[in-house]
Amino acid sequence: MSTIAIVGGHGQIARLLIPQLVADGHVPLALVRNPAQVKELEELGARVRILDIEADDAEAFAKAFDGAHAVVFAAGGGPDGNIERKKTVDLGGSLTSIEGAKIAGIHRFVQISAINVDDPLPEDTDPVWRAYVEAKRDADVALRESGLDWTIIRPGRLTDDPGTGKVALGPDVPRGDVPRADVAAVVARVIDSGDGIGRQWNLVSGDTPVAEATAA
């Protein structure tokens, strides 16, 4: 039984991930800013600790990670139009999580990013979208260079459709849609199996069962 710390523990993907980790025999440790979210997450099967992803430092992250065997970075600033939060959450939160994991002696780190963020952006790109893409891109670069046992999952356009359990996964998979439930399933699988260390994969809906896709 492993304890899995989830940064952004009340996010939509995190709330789908928690029951899957429980089903796999793990202990999800949801890290959230808002104490009002504790009861809901505990009912899903998570332990909960309070962490302010934008205000707390790496030492506080390391303390929050205490006892964990792996970290999942599932946080995002959201579609609020706030450019600064893309920097403080999507990038800053990832950088502090990486540093906190190192301090805590945790090697396994899975990051949920976004598809094709390494591609150049057109000059007329919306400033908020540019900030989001650049934050995800720079966070991925930092994780790849961290020396941790990293996996980066880069989903396409997220939907709330029911999960199918079948995906297309790989470094060059073209853009498409994917249910959040299938993103959670892929994250749960790489945590449980150890698949994907040192790999960065695009993720969209497809025809390959999740376990087969991550193993390949």
The answer, yes or no, to whether residue 81 has pLDDT greater than 90, is: no
Residue 10 pLDDT level (bands cut at 50, 70, 90): very high
Q: Tell me the three-class secondary structure of the chain, residue by residue.
A: CCEEEEECCCCHHHHHHHHHHHHCCCEEEEEECCHHHHHHHHHHCCEEEECCCCCCCHHHHHHHCCCCCEEEECCCCCCCCCHHHHHHHHHHHHHHHHHHHHHHCCCEEEEECCCCCCCCCCCCCCHHHHHHHHHHHHHHHHHHCCCCEEEEEEECEEECCCCCCEEEEECCCCCCEEEHHHHHHHHHHHHHHCCCCCEEEEEEECCEEHHHHHHC
The answer, yes or no, to whether residue 33 has pLDDT greater than 70, is: yes
pLDDT at 82: 81
pTM higher than the cut 0.75: yes
Reported as a single tens digit per residue, the pLDDT across 103-152 is 999 999 999 999 999 999 999 999 999 999 999 999 999 999 999 999 99
Catalytic residues: 132
Q: What structural domains does the chain harbor?
A: 3-215 (3.40.50.720)
Residue 77 pLDDT level (bands cut at 50, 70, 90): confident
